[in-house]
Structure 1
Amino acid sequence: MPHPEQPYLDLMAQVLGRGDERLDRTGVGTRSLFGAMLRFDLADGAAPILTTKRVYWKTAVKEMLWFLTGGTNIQPLLRDNVRIWTDWPLDAYRRETGEEIAQEEFERRIVTDDDFAARWGELGPVYGKQWRRWLGADGREYDQIAELVRTLRENPTSRRMLFHAWNVPELGAMALPPCHMVYQYHVASGGRLNCLLYQRSVDLLLGAPFNFVGAAALQLMLAQQAGLTPGELVWVGGDVHLYLNHLEQAREQLRRPPRTVPRMRLTRRPDTIDGYAIGDFAVEGYDPHGPIKADVAV
């Protein structure tokens, strides 16, 4: 039976071997395929945390927990030692002020200066805003996550259990329009909670491994809140790409054999979906190859 990580590696090899070479928004350029699907079985605690390179799974889970707060400012992320969103506000600061500030100094000011953070740490109405405070045409705000939890509990056969972040009127105000944009849920016989995640744009080397972990963590939380068990995570990618400055790193990853699949579990059950913290997640049996460094394309 193939290793659960192998389809991801096969997809990476396909992008390397026959991807369409394209110019892109960042100016870096990509090698891209359109349309892909991966399936991960989360039963028995199996977690889609890649082993062919170290994935900093706590960072991915912390990001997901931040999304669930509805937050849109990077200050709480930086205070929690999560730096994966710094590039976009840092780039905006440098462009607008002309100051070539170092990233460490920019992050220090965000953490220590609330006024500076309010002005320069804001990402606009990104994921958390749309998930928890979607602004409707009627002027009301809608909490898509709360409604999802309610429906999972009360009407688990519904085909309307989903949330998304592609709020067209607010796209222009976002530092980065949503990439992982639609999550749909399905409860199978026996109470297994499945998820289908559609991601319109996929940085296969850097972004996708975090997206797998974040989606799995959310699936565990939702299942627990609704009295269900985790089932399958189905990931669907639109524009699936490797940046041209990531090709050698991808080749290095493909040379590494996958290792034993790790397990992820929740250590307690909070009263609500809003009650989880990073300490509630335990990962066991994770023994990956070393990290692979690559630059983020902004």
Structure 2
Amino acid sequence: MASTAIDTDSLGASSDRTHWEWQYLDLMRRIWEHGDERVDRTGVGTRSILGAELRFDLADNRMPLLSTKRVFWKTATREMLWFLTGDTNIRSLCAQGVEIWTDWPLDRYRRETGTEISREDFSKRVVADEAFAQAWGDLGPVYGKQWVDWAVYEPVAIEGHEGLFRKRPKGVNQVAEVVASLRDNPGSRRHIVEGWNVAELNAMALPPCHKTYQFHVADGKLSGLLYQRSCDLGLGFAFNIWSAALLVRMFAQQAGLEPGELVWVGGDVHLYLNHAALVEEQLGRTPSGAPRLEIARRPESIFDYRIEDFTVVDYTPQAHISAPVAV
């Protein structure tokens, strides 16, 4: 498509290739220049590749915040803390001014009611009207529900009624179990938090993109690997990589370990065809700086962190780059 072509040879580059973010920019360039152009679920179209890996050293409190554009890390952190509550309704997010999940229920509301309403007005109504939020603000059993309350069904022994099952009042809390196993059995290869519950995918507003987290303990350090089945490299990645690193940092603190390395593995990694301006602008910028995350306290559990516990220092990014979200 000629309208999305970019002369990437003319874009800026730096002789200093030690900054971690060059991995990201090189991947962006590779996808834009050589990715497969495909029709996708949203109808916008993408250029994509299958399989990519990035690595980041979390030592000395370093965090993978993109410097070639501003990343609103507090918004991403609020989302992660929301996941850990197991909540699946956007009401509490909207009340904090976090709108990253609003487009999906808003799209359903417009489609099913035929009502034209702005996102701002929809969010305000979700916050103000609990009944409206219950009817229209729920996303189904997305991320947090699977992380802390994975549904479990047990057979019911009733004579003459074989094949009956009953849902446990409380499901599996994968997060709590992993924190416990990191403390009690650090050498395990089963430190995994999984979001891809096949039986419930159709009930989710969006099946999990960052679907599998695995953790690894060595030499008193905790490293984490995120497998992301689908990655919007232009918009979503910045939040995904931050949130994965944040989870490693919180798990490490709870388990009495030092942060190690974050390994990010992408499945379908793509750029949307309508993100040409974003790609051109970002590839023309040079990475710099080494932001760090300070955590003010160690709460009693992984579920007790608050947004006030986190402070980022030495973060001086270049300007934010806006681009449309494909729903």
User: Is it true that 1:12 corresponds to 2:41 in the alignment?
Assistant: no
Shift of 1:248: 2.1
Which residue of the partner structure matches residue 274 of structure 1?
Answer: 303
Which residue of structure 1 aligns with residue 249 of structure 2? 220
Q: Alignment partner for residue 105 of structure 2, among 89, 93, 103? A: 89
User: Shift in Å at residue 137 of structure 1?
Assistant: 3.9
TM-score (norm: length of structure 1): 0.98
What stretches of structure 1 move > 2 A for 4+ residues in a row?
136-140
SS in 1 for 2:42: coil
Q: In structure 1, how many angstroms separate the alpha carbons of the residues matched to 2:153 and 2:187?
A: 28
User: What is the TM-score with the length of structure 2 in the denominator?
Assistant: 0.90
Q: Which amino acid aligns with 2:134?
A: A
Structure 1: how far apart are the matches of 2:114 and 2:250? 43
Are 1:103 and 2:132 counterparts?
A: no
Q: For residue 4 of structure 2, what is the aligned residue in structure 1?
A: none
Residue deviations 1:28-47 (CA, integer Å, cap 9, x gap): 00000110000010000111
Give the distance between the partners of 2:129 and 2:80, measured in 1 at CA.
25
Q: Which residue type is aligned with residue 73 of structure 1?
A: N
What SS is found at the alignment partner of 2:303? Answer: helix
Indicate whether 1:29 and 2:59 are aligned: no
Look up the match of 2:180: 150
In structure 2, C-alpha distance between the alignment counterparts of 1:39 and 1:119, rounded to whole Å: 41
Shift of 1:256: 0.5
Give the aligned residue type for 1:210: F
* TM-aligned CA deviation for residue 85 of structure 1: 0.3
2:280 is aligned to 251
Q: Which amino acid aligns with 1:61?
A: T
Aligned-partner residue type, residue 55 of structure 2: R
Whether 1:164 aligns to 2:194 is: yes
In 1, Cα distance between the equivalents of 2:120 and 2:96? 15
Taking only the aligned residue pairs, the percentage that are identical comes to: 61
In the alignment, structure 2 segments of 5+ residues that lack a partner are 1-16, 155-166
SS at match of 1:134: coil
What is the alpha-carbon distance in structure 2 between the residues aligned to residue 247 and residue 183 of structure 1? 31
Q: C-alpha distance in 2, partners of 1:250/1:199?
A: 21
Instruction: State the partner residue of 1:183.
Output: 213
Query: 1:232 is matched with which residue?
Result: 261
How many Å separate the matches in 1 of 2:145 and 2:135? 17
Larger Rg belongs to:
2
1:157-181 CA distances to partner (integer Å, 9 max, x unpaired)? Answer: 0000001111011000000000000
Alignment length (residue pairs): 297
Write out per-residue CA displacement over residues 223-261 of structure 1, whole angstroms, 9 at most, x where no aligned residue: 000000111000000000000111221121010111102
Aligned to 2:74: 58
Query: Could you tell me how far apart the structure 1 residues matched to 2:32 and 2:281 are?
Result: 12
One-letter code of the match for 2:183?
A: R
Amino acid of the structure 2 residue aligned with 1:8 = Y
Stretch of structure 1 that moved more, 213-222 or 89-98: 213-222
**How much has 1:136 moved relative to structure 2?**
2.4
CA apart distance, 1:2:
1.3
The CA distance in 2 between the partners of 1:57 and 1:19, in whole Å, is 29
Give the secondary structure class of the aligned counterpart of 1:294.
Answer: coil
Backbone CA RMSD of aligned residues: 0.8
Post-superposition CA distance 1:28-86 (Å, at most 9, x none) = 00000110000010000111000000000000111000000001000000111110000
Q: Report the equivalent of 1:203.
A: 232
